[in-house]
Homo-oligomer: A and B are copies of this chain.
Amino acid sequence: MVSIEPSKDDAFLDLLLSAFGDSVLLGESIPASCHSDWTGHAACRPLALVRPTSTQEVSKLLQLCNQHRRAVVPQGGMTGLAGGAVPTAESVALSLIKLSGVENVDQDAATLTVRAGTTLQAVQDAAIEAGFCYPIDFGARGSCQIGGTLSTNAGGHGVIRHGMTRDRVLGLEVVLADGRILDLMNSMIKNNTGYDLKHCFIGAEGTLGVITRAVLRLAPPQRESRTLLCALRDYPAAVSLLHRLRGTGLALEAFEVMWQDFYAMSCEWQSNQSPLPPSYPLYVLCEVEGDASHLEMVLAAALETGEVQDAVMASTIKQAQELWAIREATGEFPVKLAPINFDISLPIAKIGDFVEAAGKLLTHRWPGIRIVNFGHIGDSNLHLTVDSNSLTENTSATHHAIETDIYGLVGEYRGSISAEHGIGLLKREFLHHSVRPEALNVMHALKQTFDPNNILNPGKVLS
């Protein structure tokens, strides 16, 4: 932590305090949860934490900080995994926590209007209460804030059916770096009136503006679904099964591919409870909405062609939970492994090859290295995890070398170094593997246009 230089900051802090009073926290009173995100990376106490209660206050704060060239770091629930909301010692952390609440649910339009500081869980609950569902979902639902999910274009479990966060957004309210309030609170599905500005801010990690409110599209309520675990002989069979399920009119809610390394380890952790023998190269956990007999027919056909080698369908909720527990071993990674996590995406056809190539590359350089793989392959998303406990030299230099190798390989495959977690601080130096120089130049030009003084989350995404 860098100490504050009072001489330099006093005048500015006086201005902050006189403008925002009790909404400002300083020094020790700033909770440690605002020092870093879930990665714990580069933890640092900001100069001040401001918690505005209205869009107008956010506007006033940005105006002031812009005038005084003060960095502002927007913060949501601090559950990010890329260091995107980590403050610096000279910056003002802007927490949206007091700008919260679901403002209304429009039953006719199936939309929900919400303030940025509301948790994802609260949005999901309000949707269910109104007879709908908000289908973006992931582990941090109870802590993360909807503004954070918008700023990072969060993904999660339901993407295969319902898309990313971007796909759920109809309207936004955004405060620009100079304090101007941009009212883009559209509530209509069709609206072709000039440039669709909201997309500039979704996924921009707070570097182009601060999202304060949003209009979100709701989905129909979730219906009963079936859980199915299949054993496969190879990766192409998984792609073929995906294709088969999609062509049947059944609604695919999840298609989680686990490689043998992952499956065997997870079953071992579940006291060797293994619904299918751990001898197959690949396993797919599917969640499918629709008629059970229809699904059984599709499965029978896949078994007959050899596309699926063996399968088990849950017939009770408990059985379904047991199947999901295998995939959810990822929750135990931080306890049972020392994980280096990769959240990458690749052209679907190439994911099998990539897993093999990455394994060879790392094993060649670090013999004995332990790698486990699973992915939402319908979304082109692979989560490759290295257990750094398996390294003979477990240093940050080795970690960096592993990252450099993997992201380099992702670049060769024309994949993405960040499927759903964003760039933040942690992936910035690798961005060129996925983004061409001309596109990087245009990103810098947009940053310059929206935030000429570089006060909004400086150093995140772009250097």
Query: Interface residues, chain A, CB within 8 Å of chain B?
Result: 106-110, 131, 152-153, 155, 159, 163-164, 166-167, 176, 180-184, 186-197, 199-200, 202-204, 208, 220-221, 223, 239, 243, 246-247, 249, 251, 289-290, 345-349, 376, 378-381, 414-423, 427, 431, 434-436, 438-443, 445-446, 448-450, 461-462
- Do the beta carbons of A439 and B107 come within 8 Å of each other? no
- Alpha-carbon distance A347/B190, docked complex (angstroms): 10
Known interface pairs A183-B436, A192-B203, A196-B202; 20 further A-B residue pairs with C-beta atoms within 8 A, sorted by A's residue number: A108-B348, A110-B246, A131-B247, A153-B192, A159-B189, A164-B190, A183-B439, A186-B416, A187-B414, A188-B381, A190-B376, A190-B381, A192-B421, A192-B422, A194-B431, A195-B204, A196-B203, A442-B450, A445-B449, A446-B449
Known: A189-B159, A190-B155, A434-B193. A106 touches B419 (CB 8 A): no
Chain A interface, DSSP helix/strand/loop, else mixed: loop
What 3 pairs between A and B have smallest CB-CB spacing?
Answer: A199-B199, A190-B419, A108-B349
Known: A109-B349, A247-B220. A195 touches B203 (CB 8 A): yes
Contacts of A202 in B (CB 8 A): 196
From the candidates B290, B380, B417, B427, name the one contacting A109 in the complex (CB within 8 A).
Answer: B380
From the candidates B193, B349, B419, B422, name the one contacting A423 in the complex (CB within 8 A).
Answer: B193
Contacts of A416 in B (CB 8 A): 186, 188, 190-193
Copies held by the complex = 2
Question: Which one of A195, A196, A200, A440 has the greatest number of beta carbons of chain B within 10 Å?
Answer: A195
- Alpha-carbon distance A379/B187, docked complex (angstroms): 10
- Alpha-carbon distance A431/B199, docked complex (angstroms): 19
Look across to chain B and name the residue whose beta carbon is closest to the beta carbon of A180.
Answer: B438
Can you name 18 A-B pairs with beta carbons within 8 Å? A108-B347, A109-B348, A110-B243, A153-B196, A164-B189, A166-B196, A182-B439, A183-B438, A183-B439, A188-B347, A188-B415, A189-B378, A192-B423, A193-B418, A194-B203, A220-B247, A220-B249, A249-B289
- Do the beta carbons of A193 and B379 come within 8 Å of each other? no
CB distance from A79 to the nearest CB of B (A): 15
Contacts of A422 in B (CB 8 A): 192
Contacts of A153 in B (CB 8 A): 192, 196
From the candidates B187, B194, B348, B461, name the one contacting A443 in the complex (CB within 8 A).
Answer: B194
- Do the beta carbons of B415 and A194 come within 8 Å of each other? no
Contacts of A191 in B (CB 8 A): 345, 380, 416, 418-419, 434
- Do the beta carbons of B431 and A347 come within 8 Å of each other? no
- Alpha-carbon distance A109/B421, docked complex (angstroms): 22
Look across to chain B and name the residue whose beta carbon is closest to the beta carbon of A346.
Answer: B188
Look across to chain B and name the residue whose beta carbon is closest to the beta carbon of A380.
Answer: B188
